[in-house]
Each structure stands twice: as C-alpha cells, then as structure tokens.
Structure 1
C-alpha cells in the first residue's frame, strides 16, 4: 500500500509544474498552471454552496479530512465519467472518515440541477468568482477559438476581472484538518484523471 502512495505522489510531480510559492495568478494556458504542492496549506477562500450561501473552504476542511476535486463543469463528459467512477468507492472513502468536496466554476443554480442527477454524497461548491481555482493554482485562460466552440454549445465559461474566460485544470487534493495538502494530482490534459481506485488507496494510507 505504501508503494501505491509513493507512486501516486511521484505521478503528481510529473504532471504538474513545480512551484515553491503559493500561486495566485491565472495561467495563460493549461500547461502553465502551478498548483499547490504536498505540504502546502490551502488558502482560506470563500466559495458558495448549491443554495448560493457563501462558505469558507478552510472552515469546511477543519471539520474532517477532505478529498477535494476540482472539475470543469457538469457539461464536461470527462468530469461526469470521473464522478461515475468515483461513486463506486465513495462510501469507502466516507467510511475512512473523509468528506468529499467538488469545486467548479459552475453557478449555484447549475449545481442544483446537477444534484438532481446524482445520488452521490459529494458536497458541490460553486467558484464562479474563481477564488479557489486561482489560489489553488489551477486556473488558466481559455483561447478564443475554444471559447467560441463552447459558446456554440451553450457553454458559458466563468470570466476573470479582465473578462477573460477561465477554466480549472482538473485536480484532486487530499487535505488534513490543518488544511495541509497531503496528496495532489493535477494534469493539464483534462482528459486524464486519476482512477477512483488510486484515490481510495491513497486515502487508506493517509488515514492510518
């Protein structure tokens, strides 16, 4: 089991550029994101619950160890596939004492619609202001061609203060109650996601 954790941590280093400082800027492209690394403390940012009420992410993670997933949106088939796979191990993760938070730039209204389509116990959080996405170092600007393609399919992306469309590089973080990152997996290629089995096995090791 320990070897699985070592491999997982090694993979996270391979797929995410290294950074020694807490990132706070939106990257110009997905390959330039600089996510939080293991050992760093998550930022105290405000996100919104599905009912629109604001909540402190740091306060949430103080309650119990947390698996945090960043995803692009309910419109993303790769994100939906990841959630479907995660559902097979969701109860096992919860039984280990974890809570699962899923953060996206979707509006609270869209989160409510998505909640009706799933029986998962994941707490969905809206980050339309890009607070968490920026401070976790996952946000990147979407090029105009891609933005137009999404718009043609009625997919309206969140925008930063400069009016530029932003998406997060999908990522998974396991955080302890002190807010420290104990595991991270971020890949600029949105088609590549860690398996549910990997997440569960890492959670098991960290729970000991």
Structure 2
C-alpha cells in the first residue's frame, strides 16, 4: 500500500531523468538556495503546462531572490521531453520519467490519455510541492484537471511571507 505525502512530511526521494538522460533526485538542491519548488506537469501534450512553465521562467529570478530553487518533472519519456523543449523557454531544470508508483506515492491525481494522439502513458495532473530547508513539504497544491493552477506570483508572495514570519506548516490536522 502506498502512502500519500502530506504537509510537514519529508519529501520522499524523487528520481527522474534530466534532459541529458542523467538520473537525479529532485529533492536534492542543485544550488545553495535553501527552499525548493517541484512543479509536476502533465507533459508535452498539454498547452497549459507549456504556458505555466514559460510563465514561471519569466519570474524565476524572483523565486531565486526569495531563496527558492525550481525544478519541473513529468511522466513524459526522454524523447517527449526533448520534443517539448522547442516550445519552452525555461531557465530551470526539467526532468522526465516520473513513474506511476512515484505519482501514486506523491498522491497526485493521475489520468489516462484520452487517445493515442494525446500521449502514450498515464500522466500526473498539475501539482506543486514547496519544500523548506528541511525538505519538509511546506506547501502542496494538487489539481485533478489542467485548468486549476495557483497564481505563481501569489504563491511566491505567500512563500516570502512564510519565510519572513516563521509561519508554520498548515493543513497538518488529519481526522
């Protein structure tokens, strides 16, 4: 039985492949920044994901200035990720190869493709995990459809507030 991640949990190891096919743990920092935001996106087939990733790239420096490293991952294959790059203008690491088991363990919503033209594998619906300096899940946002995503500027503002005010992790009460 898989355990779904929850606020305040330590983020489990999340191994995926970078654009060169090298396997890395996304929870490990690639910079000196203390916090990390992992964006889970549906994949190359999703124009809303392309739009979100490109929008995030435009404000990446603001996230960096606030102490937050960014990475994005999907269940796409290496070939699909490389094909997606022509539509992306990102300046943060992208990863592929998110497995069904990983998606289940994270508790993200998973969908089957509508048809073979969409994609050839189950994929995660949009999700964001913001990890604090202890790799605890400080913020999580999971959607079951591509149309519901947090405003990236509002999210950044909230993260800044949390960091500046030692605001506790919310949503930890489980009935």
TM over 0.5: yes
The residue correspondences of 1:41-80 to structure 2 (distance < 5 A) are 41-60=10-29, 64=33, 65-80=35-50
Gapped runs of 5+ residues in structure 2?
165-175
Which of 1 and 2 has higher RCO (CA within 8 Å, sep 6+)? 1
Q: Deviations over 1:104-129 (max 9, x none)?
A: 00112322333343332221111243
Give the match's secondary structure for 2:28: helix
2:156 to 200, 204, 207: 200
Return the offset for 1:150.
2.6
Q: Distance in 1 between matches of 2:29 and 2:109?
A: 22
User: Where does residue 92 of structure 1 map in the other structure?
Assistant: 62
The residue correspondences of 1:22-41 to structure 2 (distance < 5 A) are 24=2, 36-41=5-10
Give the match's secondary structure for 1:87: helix
With normalisation by structure 1, the TM-score equals 0.68
Q: Distance in 1 between matches of 2:104 and 2:94?
A: 18
User: Where does residue 150 of structure 1 map in the other structure?
Assistant: 115
User: Where does residue 128 of structure 2 map in the other structure?
Assistant: 172
Q: Distance in 1 between matches of 2:70 and 2:93?
A: 6
User: Where does residue 187 of structure 1 map in the other structure?
Assistant: 143
Gapped runs of 5+ residues in structure 1?
1-22, 26-34, 158-165
Q: How many residues align?
A: 163
Q: Which structure is higher in helix share?
A: 1
Aligned Cα root-mean-square deviation (Å):
2.4
Q: Distance in 1 between matches of 2:58 and 2:107?
A: 29
Contact 1:43 1:132 in 2 (8 A): no
User: Where does residue 101 of structure 1 map in the other structure?
Assistant: 71
Contact 1:47 1:132 in 2 (8 A): no
Q: Distance in 1 between matches of 2:5 and 2:31?
A: 18
With normalisation by structure 2, the TM-score equals 0.80
Give the match's secondary structure for 1:173: strand
- CA gap 1:39/1:62 in 2 versus in 1, 3 angstroms: farther
